[in-house]
């Protein structure tokens, strides 16, 4: 008997089926007509590399944040499909290993500036009355 189980592989479906069907032989289905992944980098990968280089240049210039609109304008991405740009931005930010953070429609340099710690915290000087006691 042959059976094809199409399932998102969440949970332990295989384990439960093996309990009621001991000795079942599991084979991975290989698609016949779908294209296999290409060895050359995708458009998203090459665009992510370009965006990462752009962010590296901003870091070298001391720029702490950039809006996505500005990034798209600077890199001339108006004609690039929206999902390609979105995926490339996400991949580029992830590849900076925490140096840059995507927050809303802005990419921030993740450091003291992003977390608001760049402001100098001044301690109040002791009052002259406290010294007299």
- Residue 10 maps to a domain: no
CATH number of 105's domain: 3.30.1370.230
> For 53-62, what is the mean pLDDT?
90
Domains held by the chain: number: 1
Express as a percent the part of the chain with pLDDT over 70. 74
What would the pLDDT profile of 74-105 be if each residue is shown by its tens digit?
999 999 999 999 999 999 999 988 889 888 89
| Residue 76 maps to a domain | yes
Residues in contact with 4: Cβ distance below 8 Å, sequence separation at least 6, in sequence order: 29
Contact 112, 69 (CB under 8 A): no
pLDDT at 132 over 60: no
CA distances from 90 to 50, 78, 119 (A): 13, 17, 29
Q: Is residue 31 part of a domain?
A: no
């Amino acid at each position: 008997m042959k059976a094809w189980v199409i399932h998102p592989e969440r949970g332990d479906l295989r384990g439960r089926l093996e309990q009621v069907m001991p000795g079942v032989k599991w084979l991975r289905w290989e698609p016949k007509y779908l294209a296999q992944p290409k060895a050359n980098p995708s458009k998203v990968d090459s665009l992510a590399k370009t965006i990462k280089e752009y962010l590296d240049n901003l870091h070298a210039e001391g720029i702490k944040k950039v809006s996505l609109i500005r990034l798209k304008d600077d890199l001339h991405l108006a004609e690039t499909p929206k999902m390609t740009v979105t995926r490339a931005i996400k991949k580029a930010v992830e590849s900076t290993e925490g140096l840059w953070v995507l927050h809303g429609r802005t990419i921030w340099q993740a450091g003291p500036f992003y977390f608001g710690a760049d402001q100098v915290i001044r301690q109040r000087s002791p009052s002259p009355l406290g010294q007299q006691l």
